[in-house]
Amino acid sequence: MPSPRTPEHPAAFTRGELLFGALRAVLWFLGSSTLFYALTMQAAAVFALIYSVPFSLGAAVVGTPLAALIGFALRGVRARWIHLAVFALYGLAVGFAAVRLFDALNHGFGLTFTTLGLVTIALAGGSVALGRQHAFARADRLDAPPTWPVRVAPGPDGRGHDHPGR
């Protein structure tokens, strides 16, 4: 499959790269938040299983289409730090919305402006930025020129030849 990246759109992406980045963002959030909860709460595994996993998956399902629109809008921006900053801000917004939803569903639990809530929001921002960075890295690997020759089977002349491969 040819690369979607062009000189006019150096940060264009495929659906697979988008989903790869979204999956990595969810995994980064689940790993970092579970570690944080384990260091601060006794019931970290229960909290992560009951709340973090469903909220993370829900945020990914709801948030990935908007992330695609953000990425589409930024596809002509070459500076990766701008992408990472925008996706970090997007992750903060998604984290804030998820924590507020958690509060609303738990009858005003009051998590949003506690240390636990604020760190959860910050972890969401960092995780989404890391997901975008992973998508960039995947695109770089896919667009990289071949790194070693591959020996091709002999042709009609009986000789094999080197063919650039991955």
Q: Name the DSSP class of 4.
A: S
The pTM score is 0.81
Mean pLDDT, residues 48-54 taken together: 82
**pLDDT score at 30:** 92
Residue 160 has pLDDT above 90, yes or no: no
Query: Of the candidates 7, 55, 29, 22, which has an alpha carbon nearest to the alpha carbon of residue 125?
Result: 29
131: its two tokens? 């997901």
Residue 119 has pLDDT above 80, yes or no: yes
